[in-house]
Amino acid sequence: MEATKVIIPVAGWGTRSLPATKNVPKEMLPVYKKPAVQYVVEEAIEADLNDVVFVTNQQKRIIEDHFDYNLSLEALLRRTGKEHLLRDVRQVAEMANIISVRQKEQLGLGHAVLCAREVVKQEPFAVMVGDDLMFSRSPAIKQLMEVAKTEHMPVVGVVEVPRERVSKYGIIQAEEFAPGLYRVRHVFEKPDPKDAPSRLAIVGRYVLTPEIFHYLENLEPGYDLEYQLTDALQALALDKRLLAVKLEGRRFDIGDWADYLSANIYFALKDEELKDELVERLGEFLTNKK
Ligand code: G1P
């Protein structure tokens, strides 16, 4: 059975991006013309994950609203003849079936995934972190779904990061059994660089089966005293099997300012109408002319 549902946890505080995220969810920070989370949903849709389950909280209603109709705005755009903008805003509202689940307390990523248990029931499902953007020829989540389908096992996506950044991510210890494919032995949440077994960092892309819920239910508080998805994956890897796939593509962590700003420039440079002017301005900044 193939996954059709994707859980996108969006209930985190986004403290790394304060003060920008004091009242705006980090997933709604714009990356060029779209909020960050829209890129994540578009990646899911490209992989035929049409049921999008947001794990949300009271402050995040604006995310669900972004994927809904805004009838007064649409009426205005129609009245003023702005058909292309009307098409864009309609298309966002119609791209996915949105299902929302509340995470009533922010107890960690593992707890957030557990909150969606009643929605995914007995089916395999994907998890995509709402502030991790991945761009590749084949959508990152699809790369994982293909492996999950042929190997019949849960799969996490990894990318290689510089050693000084391993303490920001879940890091795997694993054996490569085919190019870019790993059998995971251990997973460590945000290890000290000197203790990290590799530089293979988990990105916010996972394809899981309902057996993970058993491990999530039995979690003890872990790193930062939160219920960590990483700890449930560790238990799963020890008891059963867990694979990792080295993802092809470019990754931007929206909670990291250098990544966030690079993502904006990356997309803006793809816009032919803006490109030349932007390159000129960037050149001015770099040569300190102004
Ligand atoms: C979470 C996971 C971590 C993973 C990261 C990817 O951390 O706990 O294992 O590497 O997402 O973005 P967070 O970014 O929520 O601190």
Other beta carbons less than 10 A from residue 118's beta carbon: 7
Residue type, 107: L
Mean pLDDT value across residues 70-81: 96
pLDDT given for residue 62 in this prediction? 94
pLDDT given for residue 289 in this prediction? 62
> Which of 55, 106, 109, 260 to mutate to test ligand 1, by most ligand atoms within 8 A of the CB atom?
109
3-state SS assignment for residue 138? coil
Token pair belonging to 95 = 């791209």
Instruction: Give the separation between CA 36 and CA 47, rounded to whole angstroms.
Output: 18
| Closest protein CA for atom 7 of ligand 1 | 169
Atom of ligand 1 nearest to the CA of 255: 14
Residue 290's pLDDT band (boundaries 50, 70, 90)?
low
The residue count for the chain: 290
pTM of the predicted model as reported, rounded to 2 decimal places: 0.94
Do the bridges between strand 181-189 and strand 243-246 make them parallel or antiparallel, or are there none, so unpaired? antiparallel
| Closest protein CA for atom 15 of ligand 1 | 109
Distance 150 CA to ligand 1 centre (A): 26
Q: Which of 11-15, 86-90, 221-225, 269-273 shows the lowest mean pLDDT across its residues?
A: 11-15
> Which of 169, 171, 224 to mutate to test ligand 1, by most ligand atoms within 8 A of the CB atom?
169
pLDDT given for residue 279 in this prediction? 95
| Alpha helical stretches, state H, the chain | 36-46, 61-66, 71-79, 83-94, 109-115, 117-120, 140-151, 212-217, 229-239, 257-269, 272-286
* Residue 113, C-beta contacts closer than 8 angstroms, at least 6 positions apart: 7, 9, 55, 127, 208, 212, 216, 229
Going by C-alpha positions, the residue among 206, 5, 2 that lies closest to residue 96 is: 5
Q: What is the DSSP string of 171-190?
A: EEEEEEEETTEEEEEEEEES
Angle at 132 between CA 130 and CA 134, to 5 degrees: 120
How far from 221 is each of 211, 218, 282, CA to CA, in Å?
A: 20, 10, 45
Note the pLDDT tens digit of each residue in 230-289: 999 999 999 989 999 999 889 999 999 999 999 999 999 999 999 999 999 999 999 976
pLDDT given for residue 55 in this prediction? 97
Token pair belonging to 164 = 């000084």
What value does the CA radius of gyration of the chain take, rounded to a whole number of Å? 20
Residue 110 clears pLDDT 90, i.e. is over it: yes
Angle at 114 between CA 172 and CA 5, to 5 degrees: 85
Note the pLDDT tens digit of each residue in 208-244: 999 999 999 999 999 989 999 999 999 999 998 999 9
Instruction: Give the separation between CA 141 and CA 218, rounded to whole angstroms.
Output: 27
Domains of the chain: 5-255 (3.90.550.10)
Note the pLDDT tens digit of each residue in 153-168: 999 999 999 999 999 9
Calculate the average pLDDT of the chain: 94
